[in-house]
Structure 1
Amino acid sequence: MPVPESGPGTFTVATAGVEDTSTGRPYRVEVEDGIGVDPDEAAEQIAAVLDHEQGWSHSGDVVFRQVADESATLVIRIATPNTSDGICAAGGLDTHGELNCRVGRTVAVNLKRWQLGSPEFDGPPEEYRALIINHEVGHWLGYGHRTCPGPGEPAPVMMQQIKGLYGCVSNAWPYAPDGTFHDGPHVP
């Protein structure tokens, strides 16, 4: 499926899955208009990642809840490469029409990566989507980049796996099934 390079720069907010509760960190999902991604379906996939037992909320320390209003402290936007680049450039990042980023409270998900995954990642696009969300939300939670801890080890979710695995094995989750945090040496 061809991925459009640019879109109108306007977004539709997902409303299915919105929780009317006072607990959890409020996040909002937005999808650029006219790019062929249903906002509510995307929000459902993102909620599954955020609530996954190997995700950031595995220990119960971090709880997320989806909202559709300005109370969101995290905004996840799926956008065309050009729109995504514009969001990232506002934070001083050059993403070359290829990368995702986090700028302030906004996570920009490049539509190309959402639809096609990454040539470096050994897994289907759906699993790569989990990596995108976990990596960029990890930045929002205050985590910096990591690198491969050793050959054959799972790549830390905070590793820029799209830039190469350096002997590690592709991995989309912050935590192993046994609760061990996938970590590696800090990248300055």
Structure 2
Amino acid sequence: MGGLVALPVFAAVGGAVVAWLPSDAGRTSAALAPVESPAPQTTTESPEPESESESESDESSTSPSPSTTPLPQSGPGTFVTAPGGSGRVGKGTPLRYRVEVEKGITISPEGVAAQVERTLADPRGWTADGHSAFQRVSGGPIDFKVRLATPATVDKVCAEAGLDTGGKVNCSVNHDVMVNLRRWVLATEFYPKDVIGYRSLIINHEVGHFLGHGHVTCTGEGQPAPAMMQQIKGLLGCVPNVWPYDNDGRLVTGPSVP
């Protein structure tokens, strides 16, 4: 079964996607019907054991167990906004963002918002560039939205910018960071035991596109995979990594992808 390649045209259309994972269909019992995800994982937010920042118990308190989360293929295209907000993280004028979950998805908006907040506040995240700052809000003017949605809804929004997400992947278009429900719950074959960590990679990768960062690739065997690498296509010798910066504040990057 051939892979569906998403259009690598971030600069041209104001968005970016990653390629379809060929083995994704094998990770569910029926690719186009509500299914159950793999058994709950016993990992932390980051694949790096020396920098654990979230335990399984923390996640289970804010969202349903992955083993019981239905995965509908489509939804109404309307959203529920996570209530409340966060303090500012990072230096400079904060980018205000809203977290939304499509109606009909049995994952709490509060749980998704908590994961997004933790990711964007992590010292290895985009605030390490010294000028990016973020603040979650539930009302008023915003700079971008993080939206967890069914595959069909993600496809529709991304297609408006000319991107083909194939029912499988996420995208960042205009002011919308679109998170595919399947990726949020199932992760990929390269993160089979770190679903929670993969969620941080989704946020870092797609928010990175919103900030203007393009795709890069692996720098060499055994090196950490850049967050802006299309890791869903394969690690190419790199090791899993979900953060844009390392513990010493150095950008984890690689050669640009044309």
Report the TM-score when normalising by structure 1. Answer: 0.94
Residue of structure 2 in register with 1:130 after alignment: 200
Unaligned runs of 5+ in 2: 1-35, 37-69
Secondary structure in structure 1 of the residue aligned to 2:197: helix
Unaligned runs of 5+ in 1: none
| Inter-partner Cα distance in structure 1 for 2:165 and 2:78 | 20
Q: Which residue of 158, 167, 174 corresponds with 1:97?
A: 167
Verify: 1:139 aligned to 2:202, yes or no: no
For residues 57-76 of structure 1, the aligned pairs below 5 Å read 57-76=127-146
For residues 155-174 of structure 1, the aligned pairs below 5 Å read 155-174=225-244
How many residues align structurally? 187
User: Could you tell me how far 1:80 is from its partner in structure 2?
Assistant: 0.5
Residue of structure 1 in register with 2:94 after alignment: 24
Verify: 1:48 aligned to 2:126, yes or no: no
| Inter-partner Cα distance in structure 2 for 1:89 and 1:70 | 27
Matched AA of 2:149: A
Verify: 1:12 aligned to 2:80, yes or no: yes
Percent identity between the aligned chains? 50
| Inter-partner Cα distance in structure 1 for 2:159 and 2:171 | 10
User: Could you tell me how far 1:23 is from its partner in structure 2?
Assistant: 4.8
Residue of structure 2 in register with 1:115 after alignment: 185
| Inter-partner Cα distance in structure 1 for 2:141 and 2:82 | 14
Verify: 1:77 aligned to 2:161, yes or no: no
Q: Which moved more, 1:118-127 or 1:137-146?
A: 118-127
Matched AA of 2:78: T
CA radius of gyration, larger in = 2
The runs of 4+ residues in structure 1 deviating greater than 6 Å are none
Secondary structure in structure 1 of the residue aligned to 2:184: helix
1:122-146 Cα offsets, whole Å, 9 max, x none, are 6411000000000000000000000
Report the TM-score when normalising by structure 2. Answer: 0.69
| Inter-partner Cα distance in structure 2 for 1:139 and 1:18 | 22
User: Could you tell me how far 1:17 is from its partner in structure 2?
Assistant: 2.6
| Inter-partner Cα distance in structure 1 for 2:183 and 2:163 | 17
User: Could you tell me how far 1:27 is from its partner in structure 2?
Assistant: 0.5
Residue of structure 2 in register with 1:3 after alignment: 71
Secondary structure in structure 1 of the residue aligned to 2:127: coil
Q: CA RMSD in A?
A: 1.6
Secondary structure in structure 1 of the residue aligned to 2:128: coil
| Inter-partner Cα distance in structure 1 for 2:198 and 2:76 | 25
